[in-house]
Amino acid sequence: MIKYLGSKRRLIPVLTELFEGSGATTALDLFTGTTRVAQAFKATGAHVTALDTARYSEVFARTWIAHDADAVDRVTLQAAVDDLNRLRGEPGYVTETFCRRSRFFQPFNGERIDAIRDAITRDHAGSALEPILLTSLLLAADKVDSTAGVQMAYIKQWAPRSYKPLVLEAPELLAGAGRAVRGDATVLAGTLGSFDLAYLDPPYNQHRYFTNYHVWETIVAWDQPEHYGIACKRLDARDDETKSVFNRKREMPQALADTIASVDAEVVIVSYNDESWVNLDDLRDMCAVHGDVGVLAFDSKRYIGAQIGIHDPQGNKVGTVSHTRNLEYVVIAGPRPRIDAMTTGLLAARVT
Ligand SMILES: C[S@@+](CC[C@H](N)C(=O)[O-])C[C@H]1O[C@@H](n2cnc3c(N)ncnc32)[C@H](O)[C@@H]1O
């Protein structure tokens, strides 16, 4: 999976246990990013809807969530990947913009990204394989990039991994149906239907995903945009349509409250960390529209979970916080018996 700010990789075992404990068979992952949480839910057999504003997230969601592995012919997929891997490099937009004007990839890899991306459009546009091959290209490009994990800047000296040749692999797909949606959660949250469980992992501060992952946006859009600055960011990064309300300090709390309230789900789980503009008590209040509220806290240094209390809709608290620094929170709202069933056994949860 790609390097991604705020990725919930280490929380997957906990979120999976919560999901299984809830008995849910339908789920919504409203800020899906890499889709790794949506994938974990889908792997339990659930029908998952994954939504994000990012173009690359939609590609990931079409690959891992909407596609049914049983409906994809592995031989055809592998043959398409092999064909792309055999292509010779051809300098184009990526080579010029992201290898010469900036230094996100070494030119020999940039030329191959250009050739492969052109071939995906030429040979697979509109086909079921298109998102899978794009996912394969993004994963391969991420393995040979020269960044510290975000694309606002590149490393001055080439990163050691950037010397490796770009190699596409066929992504492992998951069996079952699902849905990929690209759009704004604040607009769409209430329109997506009814779910057993909804998971929300919004941005909580000023760091914009559109600019932090502009190279992935451009490789997916393949629109050769005008760019600016040392990192060659897309010119439309300056447009309001590419900005998220979750990156605006004053507007974000109300937007989050409205989005949580408009989700139609029996159980709502919200991820939260202590670098956020919203405080935990306010978030707990926002979640109380869905019933009782439970909070799990994870010390990100020690990766030991601790259940710190069940709260009724009025915010009456049971339990105490055992660690107060470097905490990641998982806030759970819904009927009290359901929360109890989900959290039993998580007192000693380990996040690795
Ligand atoms: C913290 S990340 C989610 C990480 C994800 N849970 C994972 O493990 O990969 C937040 C996501 O919210 C998306 N986002 C930002 N504003 C949004 C909005 N208004 N509607 C939907 N998604 C949005 C970003 O593109 C980003 O992928």
Of all atoms in ligand 1, which is nearest to the CA of residue 204?
1
Q: How far is the CA of 202 from the centre of ligand 1 (A)?
A: 5
Q: What is the pLDDT of residue 40?
A: 98
Q: What is the pLDDT of residue 350?
A: 38
User: What is d(CA 152, CA 7) in angstroms, rounded to the nearest whole number?
Assistant: 17
Q: What is the pLDDT of residue 323?
A: 43
Nearest CA to ligand 1 atom 16: 244
pLDDT in tens, the chain (352 residues): 899 998 988 899 999 999 999 999 999 999 999 999 999 999 999 999 999 999 999 999 999 999 999 999 999 999 999 999 999 999 999 999 999 999 999 999 999 999 999 999 999 999 999 999 999 999 999 999 999 999 999 998 999 999 999 999 999 999 999 999 999 999 999 999 999 999 999 998 888 999 999 999 999 999 999 999 999 999 999 999 999 999 999 999 999 999 999 999 999 999 988 778 999 999 999 999 999 999 998 876 533 334 344 443 444 454 444 444 567 899 999 999 999 999 887 754 433 3
Of all atoms in ligand 1, which is nearest to the CA of residue 29?
6
Of all atoms in ligand 1, which is nearest to the CA of residue 1?
9
Q: What is the pLDDT of residue 305?
A: 38
The secondary structure element, H or E, covering residue 298 is strand 292-299
- Residues in contact with 53: Cβ distance below 8 Å, sequence separation at least 6, in sequence order: 182, 183, 184, 185, 209, 210, 244
User: What is d(CA 281, CA 273) in angstroms, rounded to the nearest whole number?
Assistant: 13
Tell me the CA end-to-end span of the chain in Å, nearest whole number.
Answer: 16
Going by DSSP bridges, is the β-strand pair 265-273/327-334 parallel, antiparallel, or unpaired?
A: antiparallel
User: What is d(CA 167, CA 82) in angstroms, rounded to the nearest whole number?
Assistant: 10
Q: What is the pLDDT of residue 325?
A: 54
Nearest CA to ligand 1 atom 19: 184
With b for 16 or more beta-carbon neighbours within 10 A and e for fewer, the 53-89 pattern comes to: bbbbbbbbbbbbbbbeeeebeeeebeebbeebbeeeb
Q: How far is the CA of 267 from the centre of ligand 1 (A)?
A: 20
Q: How far is CA 314 from CA 123, 124, 153, 289, in A?
A: 58, 54, 45, 10
Q: How far is the CA of 156 from the centre of ligand 1 (A)?
A: 28
Name every protein residue with a CB atom under 6 angstroms from any ligand 1 atom. 4, 6-8, 31, 33-34, 36-37, 52-54, 57, 184-186, 201-203, 209, 244, 246
